[in-house]
Amino acid sequence: MTADDSPRFLGHPLPLTGERTLPGVAAETYWFRRHEAAYRFAEQRASGRVLDVGCGEGFGAVMLSRSSAVVAMELDPEATAHAALTYELPVVQADACRIPFRPKAFDAVVAMQVLEHLWCPEAFVEQVRELLAPGGTFVLTTPNRETFSPQGVLNPFHSHEYTAAEVAALVGRSFADIEVLGVRHGLYLRSLDVLAEGSLQHLLMRTGYDDLPTKLRTGVDLIRADHFALGAAEGALDLFAVATA
């Protein structure tokens, strides 16, 4: 079963707490598609033996598995069980601060929207470097603090939100070759920004889905992963970093 087999608007068995996004929930369409887009970008850079750290519901790990041998890892036991059962993936319940795999076990490590949750970011990056075979790839996304929380009010599930310079400095402690890009709105989503009178993202962060104007809610329902683009880090929604061992 793939993530796209799930009905989009019929709810989801996992609780929606705000800590992770889920497929099949109308109010999560924008956030889910944004994560889905990031996994598509990651799929183009991660291949071979891949570890997906913090896989959450599992939809991204199964996307990566279309072209790679993927092991997923998740701390939450309920999400771990769901991912293993729903997508028939090898899923290990483990803490990203104590990754239980041998050195050089993977050709790529992917961590999508994980870094901002960690109390051990330096140790995590060091562990990732040890896990990678020579020439291996580390791909991560994390919210861009400059656009996600411009007023300094962090998501309660986030330990720290990063700027592009902070991500480059953190990952650069263990990797010499790093590029920081950004997930951005494409043309369709920029048109929804206009309807939202500024920022669709910020409107969705402060307004319930059912309270959106009808025209805008319809527009949100139609969002697809390919409505997001990968480009410059400056002003991006999420930072997208790629480092090579």
> How far apart (Å, rounded) are the C-alpha atoms in residues 164 and 180?
7
pLDDT higher than threshold 50 for residue 8: no
pLDDT digits (tens, 9 = 90+) for 50-74: 999 999 999 999 999 999 999 999 9
> How far apart (Å, rounded) are the C-alpha atoms in residues 239 and 167?
8
Domain count, the chain: 1
Give the domain CATH number at 110. 3.40.50.150
Q: With CA atoms as reference, report the closest residue to 175 among 231, 215, 126.
A: 126
Q: With CA atoms as reference, report the closest residue to 38 among 56, 64, 12.
A: 64
* Full-model pTM: 0.91
128: CB partners within 8 A, 6+ apart:
53, 99, 109, 111, 138, 174
Q: Give the pLDDT band of residue 2 (cuts 50, 70, 90).
A: very low
Angle between helices 214-221 and 29-43 (to 10 degrees): 30
pLDDT digits (tens, 9 = 90+) for 196-210: 999 999 999 989 999
Strands 238-244 and 177-185: antiparallel
Q: State which residues form the domain around 140.
A: 3-244
Predicted local confidence at residue 198, as pLDDT: 92
Predicted local confidence at residue 24, as pLDDT: 87
